[in-house]
Amino acid sequence: MRLIDRLSAETVPFHADADEDVRALLGTATAAGYRRFLIRTYGFTCPVERAIASVPGIERYIDPRRLRKHELLRRDLVGFQMTSDQISRIPQCPVPLIETPQEALGWAYPIERAALRHTQLFHHLMAVIPDEVAFTASYLKCYFGAVGAAWKSFGVALDAFGDRPQHARRVVEGARAAIRCHLGWRRLADPLLMAATSAPRPELAHP
């Protein structure tokens, strides 16, 4: 079994909870709900990507450009007329020190897995809140038209550790820790994030 398939199998119990935000937006989507989704996602993605990027030698296993989704999220929040200072004050998930490339790829797994549903979510939101999504979808379009290829290349990166049991185990442990961290953070931070997004929505900033 390839390591990417093993990760999917060993994290199955977490998938329903991990997908809750996207599932909610695929139901009844509102501009306020989408904005909260972006803020909540930024609060997890930003510290995780920065922690992964700081791991020595990580560029040998994963393209550093994958670790810039938090920048796309910032761009989308600016589209909702949040200032740089407001974005910087968004509560962020406390992330433990990530020391090895194996752990780092494990921590990247939930972020990469989430992107598998971005195209579906983008098209749904464009149908129901097109004015908002037109200028706030950089994150959802991070792999636009190439989601399958991006997932395949991530699987290839994981293959570097698939034939070494100890290293593969560290990747799996990293992925499980990342998903548990994400779920715990979402429950802990949601009241803060809800408060941060409760103000009336300003007009969108059009280019």
**How far apart, in whole angstroms, are the C-alpha atoms of residue 201 and residue 181?**
30
Q: Judge contact between 73 and 38, C-beta under 8 A.
A: yes
The more confident residue out of 197 and 98 is 98
For a pLDDT cut of 70, what percent of the chain falls above it? 91
Task: State the chain's mean pLDDT as an integer.
Answer: 90
**Residues 17-34, mean pLDDT to the nearest whole number:** 92
**Residues 26-54, mean pLDDT to the nearest whole number:** 94
**Is the pLDDT at 200 greater than 70, yes or no?**
no
DSSP per-residue string spanning 74-126: HHHHHHTT--HHHHHTS---------SHHHHHHHHHHHHHHGGGHHHHHHHHH
For residue 158, the model assigns a pLDDT of 96
**Is the pLDDT at 166 greater than 80, yes or no?**
yes
Q: How confident is the model at residue 188 (pLDDT cuts 50, 70, 90)?
A: confident
Q: Between the CA of residue 2 and those of 51, 63, 147, 161, 166, what are the distances in Å?
A: 25, 20, 19, 10, 15
Assigned CATH topology for domain 3-196? Heme Oxygenase; Chain A (1.20.910)
Domain-wise residue ranges, the chain:
3-196
**Residues 85-103, mean pLDDT to the nearest whole number:** 93
For residue 206, the model assigns a pLDDT of 37
The more confident residue out of 23 and 197 is 23
Summarize pLDDT for 119-153 with one digit per residue, the tens.
Answer: 999 999 999 999 999 999 999 999 999 999 999 99
Sequence-separated (6 or more) residues with CB below 8 Å from residue 88: none
Sequence-separated (6 or more) residues with CB below 8 Å from residue 77: 35, 38, 39, 42, 86, 87, 136
For residue 186, the model assigns a pLDDT of 81
Chain centroid to CA 51:
14
Summarize pLDDT for 152-164 with one digit per residue, the tens.
Answer: 999 999 999 988 9
Summarize pLDDT for 59-84 with one digit per residue, the tens.
Answer: 999 999 999 999 999 999 999 999 99
Q: Using CB atoms within 10 A of its CB, is residue 89 exposed (0-12), middle (13-18) or buried (19+)?
A: exposed
